[in-house]
Structure 1
Amino acid sequence: MRAVAKAPPKKDDGQSALQVAIKSGNFEVARVLMDKGADVNFIDSSDVNSWNVPVLHDAIRAAVFSARFGRNMALPGEPPDIEIMSTSEQFDSAFGVLGRIIAEGADVNAKDSAGNPALMRAVLDARQVLDEPVLIELREDLHRIFDLLLRAGADKEWVNPRTGDRLVDFTEGHPVRQFLPD
């Protein structure tokens, strides 16, 4: 599969069909594309978009944002009314694509154009869905994502070359820290 999107729409410019399928939540299409040989190490390239990412990063984002996180729908001053934003089936589908991409040889330390590896992508996205208290369902889903990345060899010792911050330092004091080993 060598199809690459061209602008417009500029949000898809330079992305592979696999990336577009993942980002749009069409996980069955993503599986079919992989069955047909889609490149799991493809990194988008665009004259329109300055942030370019590997397919793996899109799959991580899809899995994290398909996790069963909750949002408090109550008005200020009212008791919490937590609404879970996804289902276990939605998460399992996204997670299955992530797992398959890794199983098919995606480089778990490939970086985006900002220099972030996959584990940092997971941290950055998890920080967006984590809210106190952390729901049990979300904790389970995020553990599955982080454990998969770590078992596949994601670099937990990564240091940001621009700031000198270690990944564990970046997560210190935030609930996302529980998903990284000491």
Structure 2
Amino acid sequence: MIIALALLAPPAVFAEAKLPDPAAFANAMERGDLERAAAWLDAGLPPDFLGSRIGSGLMIGAWEGKIELMRLFISRGADINQANANGETALTLAAWRGNLEAARWLVERGARINVPARQWSPLHYAVLAGQTPVVDYLIAEGANINALSTNGSSVLMLAVYEGRQALAQKLIDLGADRTPRNDWGDGALEWAMRNNNLAIARILAEPEQFKAALNEPREKWGTPTGSLAMSEELQALLAMRGTLQERRMTTVAIDRRIAAERARIIRARLDQQAPTAHATTLEITASRQPGQAQSIRLVPAPANRKVVPGTKAKAAAGKGQGGR
């Protein structure tokens, strides 16, 4: 009887019944392989199983913007607010990638917008990556605009750190607190002045405070922090972008991946517990206007650069579950 059933059943059923290791799971889910996911779940795979990258099937669906994949894992009992090893939930990852529809789908099904004190929130990630539509949505749904990250950096501070003037102005107009300082004593104004973002500094400070800041010697503000540490992932993405530009092909998708990797590197830097010296960094100047030039150069990081410590160490840049 068993032999007869085996002959009648499609070979794929038995092939899929073997549960995956974390790497195989991540590869299949990132491809959006719904049939394989369903077969693994039918065979006993826990719905909150974590892959080797990003996280659970629900998290991968949010990261990739694959709502049907998210729907499948939720229907099998996945925890919508589960966090990966970096404290990132599905909503945080959707916000990071700018996947507005995925973010909306998650919130409508109970995903938490706000997090406990001193944790990275979805709004932190959306602002850090410059995902304005997601920022607007999260705020409209009640996101705390004064949330502090693990190292005490406010949402406004992250907008300033990345030189995102429009987002900084939006947050200020909504009443964001301009006074928080992180664990190193830095605030939004210090970051604006350090990176010579005077337009942002002007909207952060009262006129007399701004005037006084301008009169301070440049050395007071420290070394600019806008340049990013290079990672293999970012280097590969930039090379791919260059190829697409040469072929006059759209760079929209690759730009989203670059933004996500830039945000990951910044979070890794801010979460470090000790400064790292003499790292190679990437300095990017770009315009969103069509036809405008983009300049990219590698520069050595100063040995005395100050790095904000977090409350716990994270995986090294480009490695661990936070690596993309």
TM-score (norm 1): 0.58
Separation in 2, partners of 1:15, 1:164: 26
2:197 is aligned, of 167, 176, 179, to 176
Residues 1:158 and 1:54: Cα distance change in structure 2 (over 3 Å): same
Which AA in structure 1 matches 2:153? N
Separation in 2, partners of 1:37, 1:177: 40
Q: Which has the larger radius of gyration?
A: 2
- CA shift at 1:6, angstroms? 6.1
The aligned residue for residue 153 of structure 1 is 175
Secondary structure of residue in 2 paired with 1:97 = helix
2:51 is aligned, of 2, 5, 8, to 8
Separation in 2, partners of 1:114, 1:43: 14
The aligned residue for residue 166 of structure 2 is 144
Separation in 1, partners of 2:48, 2:147: 21
2:108 is aligned, of 17, 35, 44, to 35
Separation in 2, partners of 1:15, 1:165: 25
C-alpha deviations, 1:113-160, integer Å up to 9, x for none? 11111111112233xxxxxxxxxxxxxxx3321122112222112233
Which AA in structure 2 matches 1:107? N
Which AA in structure 2 matches 1:19? T
Separation in 2, partners of 1:34, 1:18: 8
- CA shift at 1:5, angstroms? 6.5
- Determine what percentage of the aligned residue pairs are the same residue: 29
Secondary structure of residue in 1 paired with 2:185 = coil
- CA shift at 1:43, angstroms? 5.8
Residues 1:168 and 1:35: Cα distance change in structure 2 (over 3 Å): same
The aligned residue for residue 80 of structure 2 is none
Separation in 1, partners of 2:137, 2:115: 15
C-alpha deviations, 1:56-88, integer Å up to 9, x for none? 10111232xxxxxxxxxxxxxxxxxxxxxxxxx
2:125 is aligned, of 44, 58, 68, to 58
TM-score (norm 2): 0.34
Please state if 1:124 is matched with 2:145.
no
The aligned residue for residue 147 of structure 2 is 110
- CA shift at 1:10, angstroms? 5.2
Separation in 1, partners of 2:158, 2:194: 18
Secondary structure of residue in 1 paired with 2:125 = helix
CA contact under 8 A between 1:159 and 1:165: conserved in structure 2? yes
Residues 1:61 and 1:6: Cα distance change in structure 2 (over 3 Å): farther
User: What is the aligned length?
Assistant: 127
Using CA pairs below 8 Å that are at least 6 residues apart, which structure has the higher relative contact order? 1
CA contact under 8 A between 2:93 and 2:122: conserved in structure 1? no
Secondary structure of residue in 2 paired with 1:172 = helix
Instruction: Pick which of 104-113 and 170-179 moved more.
Output: 170-179
Which AA in structure 1 matches 2:115? F
Structure 1 gaps of 5+ residues are 45-50, 64-93, 127-141
Separation in 1, partners of 2:48, 2:188: 33
Separation in 1, partners of 2:98, 2:186: 33
CA contact under 8 A between 2:126 and 2:134: conserved in structure 1? yes
